[in-house]
Structure 1
Amino acid sequence: MKTALLFALLVGAAAPTFAADAAPLDNPYAASVAPAERFDSGSLLVERHGERGRPLILVPGLASGAWAWQDLLRQLKAEHVIYVVTLAGFDGRAPVKGNGFASAQQSLHDLIVSRKLATPVLIGHSLGATLSLAIAQKHPALVGGVVAIDGLPVFPGTEELPVGQRAAMAEGMRSRIDAMPPDSFAPMQQQYMRGVGVIEMSKADELAKLTVKSDPGAVAQYMEEVLTLDLRPGLPAIKAPVLVIAPYFNTDTPDPGRTEAAKAAYYKSLMAGTPKLTVVSVSPSRHFVMFDQPQRVADAIRTYLKSL
Structure 2
Amino acid sequence: MKRASLILALLLAAAPAFAGAQAQPPVNRFAATEVAQERFDVGVLQVERHGQRGRPLILVPGVAGGAWVWQDTIRKFRGSHSVYVVTLPGFDGRARVPGNMMEAVQQSLRDLVTSRQLAKPVLVGHGLGGMIALAVAQDLPGLVGGVVSIDGLPVVAGTEELPPEQRAQLADGIVRRTSGLTPEQYAAQQQQYLRGAGVLDMGRADELAKLSSRSDPEAAVQYTAARTAADLRPGLSKITAPVMVIAPYFELDEADPNATLASKVAYYRELMTGTPKLDIMGMSGSRHYVMIDQPERFTDVLRGFLNSL
Task: Quote the RMSD (CA, aligned, Å).
Answer: 1.2
Give the AA of the match of 1:199. L
1:251 equivalent in structure 2:
252
Residue type of the partner of 2:40? F
TM-score under structure 2 normalisation?
0.91
**Equivalent residue number for residue 267 of structure 2:** 266
Q: Please say if 1:68 is aligned against 2:66.
A: no
Partner of 2:219: 218
- Provide the residue aligned with 2:239 in structure 1: 238
1:44-67 deviation line (CA, Å, top 9, x unaligned) = 000000010000100000000000
Q: Distance in 2 between matches of 1:76 and 1:202?
A: 26
> Which one-letter code corresponds to 1:138 in the other structure?
D
Which residue type is aligned with residue 258 of structure 2?
G
Determine whether 1:300 maps to 2:301: yes
In the aligned structure 1, how far is the partner of 2:181 from the partner of 2:77? 40
SS in 1 for 2:259: coil
Distance 1:79 1:182 in 2: 40
**1:243 touches 1:280 (CA, 8 Å); kept in 2?**
yes
Following TM superposition, where does structure 1 have runs of at least 4 consecutive aligned residues deviating by more than 4 angstroms?
Answer: none
The residue number in structure 2 matching 1:110 is: 111
Shift of 1:182: 3.8
- Give the aligned residue type for 1:218: A
Give, in whole Å, the separation in 2 of the partners of 1:150 and 1:120: 20
Identity %: 58
Q: Secondary structure at the match of 1:39?
A: strand
Shift of 1:180: 3.2
TM superposition shift of 1:140: 0.5
Contact 1:24–1:30 (CA<8 Å) still a contact in 2?
no
Q: Which residue of 2 aligns with 1:3?
A: none
Structure with bigger RCO (C-alpha 8 Å, 6+ apart): 1
1:47 counterpart letter in structure 2: E
Q: What residue number does 2:30 align with?
A: 29
Give the alignment of 1:1-308 within 5 angstroms.
26-308=27-309
Deviations 1:63-105 (A, max 9, x none): 0000000111111110100100000000000001100110000
Please give the alpha-carbon distance, in whole angstroms, between the structure 2 residues aligned to 1:54 and 1:289: 23
TM-score normalised by L of structure 1:
0.91
Change (3 A) 1:239 1:24: farther
Work out whether residues 150 and 246 of structure 2, in 8 Å CA contact, stay in contact via their aligned partners in 1.
yes
Amino acid at match of 2:257: P
> What's the offset of the Cα at 1:256?
2.5
1:257: Cα distance to partner? 2.0
**Worse-superposed segment, 168-177 or 205-214:** 168-177
Return the offset for 1:305: 0.3
Question: In 1, distance between residues paired with 2:31 and 2:159?
Answer: 33
Structure 2 CA distance, aligned partners of 1:143 and 1:261?
29
Change (3 A) 1:24 1:67: farther
**Larger-gyration structure (1/2):** 2
Aligned pair in 2 of structure 1 residues 297, 280: CA closer, same or farther (>3 Å)?
same
**Contact in 2 for aligned 1:129/1:152 (Cα 8 Å):** yes
- The answer (yes or no) to whether the contact 1:24–1:210 under 8 Å persists in 2 is no
The Cα of 1:155 is off from its aligned counterpart by 0.3
**CA contact under 8 A between 2:180 and 2:218: conserved in structure 1?**
no
**Kept in 1: contact 2:243–2:278 (CA 8 A):** yes
Q: AA paired with 2:292?
A: F
For the 8 Å contact 2:183–2:213, the answer to whether it is kept is no
Would you say the 8 A contact 2:44–2:108 is kept in 1?
yes
Structure-2 separation of matches of 1:107 and 1:277: 25
Give how far 1:25 is off.
7.2
Query: In the alignment, what sits opposite 1:18?
Result: none
Distance 1:112 1:180, change over 3 A: same
- Residue 142 of structure 2 aligns to a residue whose secondary structure is helix
In structure 2, the gaps of 5 or more residues are 1-23
Is the CA contact 2:60–2:130 (under 8 Å) kept in the aligned structure 1?
A: yes
Q: Note closer, same or farther for the CA distance 1:112–1:173 as it changes in structure 2 (3 Å cut).
A: same
Q: Given that residues 186 and 213 in structure 2 are in contact (C-alpha distance below 8 angstroms), is that contact kept between their aligned partners in structure 1?
A: yes
Distance 1:142 1:33, change over 3 A: same
Going from structure 1 to structure 2, the CA distance change for 1:176 and 1:254 (only over 3 Å counts) comes to: closer
